Structure 1
Amino acid sequence: MMHPSPAAPGRFLQWLRAEWLLVLLLILLPPLLWLVPQEGAQLAALIDWKTIGALAGLMVLSRGLELSGAIDRAGRSLLARLGNERRLALALVLFAALLAAVVTNDVALFVTVPLTLSLARILPLRTGRLVIFQALAVNAGSTLSPVGNPQNLFLWQISGLGFGEFLMTMLPLGLAMLAVLILLVPLGFAPHRLPSRRDVPTPPLQRGLMILSLAAYPLFLALVNAGHALPAAMAVIALYAIAFRGLLRGIDWPLLLVFVLMFLDLGLLGRLPVIADLVPRALHLPGGAYTLGALLSQGMSNVPAAIFLAPFSPDLQALAWGVSVGGFGLAIGSLANLIALRLARVPGLWREFHLWSLPVFALSLAAGALLLPG
């Protein structure tokens, strides 16, 4: 007779902790369907398939750039030229921010946080604080780009704007958020010199994977910009399945299901009569979609807030700015914050994170209110 492994419950609990958002969305779907019955075609129409396709392609391409070792090498080469902790912190903030604008905020963290942890093993660094500033940096940097984070990607797809138009729409806020963070670096890090002990081992460079990823990335973005996100994503997945099949096994495919469920759950929630009446009223309060997006992100994270509020708000720029600022503040404001804190595993980091993130939220909210047109 077969008996379950004693480790099986532990593995299941570990999976639940890792995929808590997926589980929550699955649990919410049946009662929402009971409250707001929908046919199959109506349900499918709630999902923004262009966003799903764009996200799938970017996940694969970003993973290709990450595994090629090109980004890691560039970061290590930059950091090797720095002599004190403050310059190191500033370089990591700028590197994480610019990287997030290209390969999304969570991928940027999966590159920069392990790099920081490897440096901390041989240098006396304020590891936790460096990770906090990187989490804040990817939220600021990802604001600059239509593909920097999932909420931008979604709002770009439904806005009808071109890549460059959306980028210019977000540029003032992104630069203001990054400026706030840069101004705080001297408060968080001293200019004392770091001892030079030995070089951090550099990972091997996979040239074929690097060349393919660098060549395919702009072509994929051009196709997404032209409205062909789904076929472009299928082509990217097929290309990597042929050339680098092992890479596809490391993709966070459950994340795509999370986004499908977000569209379904939040779309159904928005059709509840009480919600359909309440949200338009809230949008007429001072600050409108900007303030509501920033505040709602503090309770449900900025990606769900963007998906939930988009059907109600005609002012997509205000909404995009609001949920971008909403990535600061409480850790739940952005999933990137949770990823960074989880990767760092530094005791007491949650408290210190909020000591920095809440002031950044207040300053960025004020800056955005001053810069927002109209």
Structure 2
Amino acid sequence: MPTVDDTRANRASVPRKIVSYAFKEPVLAILVVVLAVLQCVRPQSWLRLPTMVDWPTVLTLAGLLMLTKAIELSGLLMWLAHRVVHHVRSERALACLLIGLAAGLSMLVTNDVALFVVIPLVLSLHALTPLPVKRLTIFLALAVNAGSVLTPLGNPQNLFLWQVGGVSFGRFVWALAPLCATLTAMLYVLAFFAFKPKALDLSKDAAKERVDRAYAGVAAVLFVAFVLLADSHHAAIGLIGVAGGFLLWRRDAVLKIDWALLLIFVLMFIVLRSVAELPWVHDTVAGLGLHSMLRAYVAGAVLSQAISNVPAAIMLAEFTKDWRALAFGVSVGGFGIAIGSLANLIAVRLSKTRGVWLPFHLVSIPFWVVGTALGAWLLAHA
């Protein structure tokens, strides 16, 4: 039987737990506070709020999170990463290989999952031979932002714009391919000068991870099937199949996904669409003339620097139907200030490296300026 003192201690710890969780998930905490303020300033029926969510996007994101988690838990990605770098002989070659690996993975399993593979890989290789971890972290953050531009699976804003645009998977890839190629090429040119052809010996590295082939194989097959269903606007059916199957067989693929990210996405739709409906906000943004392709692009690139590219995409989609211009804008917006993309924050957090923010911005902001200019040219001439 709990005593009175135990009960009081538990009650006293509740505020501390809430504060602790708020610091752990600051984006979620901010969205909850903003929603509360909006409901006080301009109250809406609580029953209306769920109708403001783009549920096909949320369902598609949930399915992809489960499938990428299954592939991650199978050990396949880390095993593959170690095999890829096994014969690298120089620092520059390693950097280029890791950039390609990060960019390639981010096209298929989202940019944050790609980081959960390549950053731990860098740290494990650093235990074998000295590596410029800080510099590699910066370039890998930029790499997943560049690579994830290509496909609807690469990042949440692409996923949302793919659903909103109502275009096929292939058409989306074709439209974003020039920007992805340009940003990736820029990154490789920069990496050539940033990393030296210093000799490295990684021959002693061996992939110790065991691959659960059944887990990886089933996840890969379901991944293809789910994408096809989402492409045909049947994400709900795909999610039921994926979630139901994994709950019966390997429930960790469902239980261990980033549920906070799903909640953040739901609240983003509600909060940002509520903000967009505020008369002064609506009139201000509508006055920007976002029906123009170039203005929609610039708005996406610039607004991402203030509120990150996922919220920017959701908010600006209320004012323009040009999904391609908006996709270009928020993709470039992932560079520049660190908040432009959550992947930047994830990379630094995983690397556990101090003093990275200043050098990150010394690279990322000029990259954003040049990338924005080139993206505008591509948009106008593609």
| Pair 1:171 & 2:157 matched | no
State the alpha-carbon separation in 2 of the partners of residues 138 and 283 from structure 1. 31
1:8–1:39 Cα change, 3 Å:
closer
Task: Return the alpha-carbon distance in structure 2 between the equivalents of residues 201 and 49 of structure 1.
Answer: 40
Larger deviation: 1-10 or 298-307? 1-10
2:43 & 2:201 partners in 1: Cα distance?
64
Partner residue in 2 for 1:287: 294
- Preserved CA contact (<8 Å) 2:247 2:254: yes
Instruction: Please report how far the alpha carbon of residue 360 of structure 1 lies from its aligned counterpart in structure 2 after TM superposition.
Output: 1.2
Q: Which moved more, 1:45-54 or 1:226-235?
A: 226-235
Letter of the aligned partner of 1:289 in structure 2? Answer: A
8 Å contact 1:35–1:272 — kept in the other structure? no
Write out aligned runs for 1:196-345 (5 A). Answer: 196=202, 198-283=204-289, 287-345=294-352
Q: Is 1:153 equivalent to 2:159 in the alignment? A: yes
Instruction: Classify 1:8/1:129 alpha carbon distance in 2 versus 1 (closer, same or farther; 3 Å).
Output: farther
Structure 2: runs of 5+ lacking an equivalent? none
Partner Cα separation in structure 2 for residue 79 and residue 53 of structure 1: 35
Match of 2:84 among 78, 82, 97: 78
Encode CA deviations 1:269-313: one digit per residue, 9 max, x unaligned: 000000110112224589301111111000100000000000101
Q: How many residues align?
A: 374
CA contact (8 A) 1:118 1:200 kept: no
Shift of 1:11: 5.7
Residue 91 (structure 1) shift? 0.5
Deviations 1:219-266 (A, max 9, x none): 000000111112211221111111101332221111111000000000
Pairwise mapping of residues 19-58 of structure 1 onto structure 2 (< 5 A)? Answer: 19-58=25-64
Residue number in structure 2 paired with 1:96? 102
Which one-letter code corresponds to 1:349 in the other structure? V
Look up the SS of the partner of 1:37 in the other structure.
Answer: coil
Partner of 1:366: 373
User: What is the one-letter code of the residue matched to 1:128?
Assistant: K
The answer to whether residue 9 in structure 2 is matched with residue 4 in structure 1 is yes
State, as a whole percentage, how many aligned pairs show the same letter.
42
Give ranges in structure 1 of 5+ residues lacking alignment. none
Q: Secondary structure at the match of 1:282?
A: coil
Aligned twin of 1:193: 199
Tell me if structure 1 keeps the 8 A contact 2:143–2:187. yes
Q: State the one-letter code of the partner of 1:331.
A: A
* TM-score (structure 2 length as normaliser): 0.94
RMSD across aligned C-alpha pairs, in angstroms?
1.8
- One of 39, 59, 67 as aligned partner of 2:73: 67
* C-alpha deviation, 1:40, in angstroms: 4.3
Separation of aligned partners in 2, 1:131 and 1:176: 21
Contact 1:101–1:147 at 8 Å: present in 2 too?
yes
Alpha-carbon distance between aligned partners in 2 of 1:270 and 1:12, rounded to the nearest angstrom: 29
Q: Choose 283-292 or 234-243, whichever is displaced more.
A: 283-292
Q: Distance in 2 between matches of 1:201 and 1:99?
A: 18
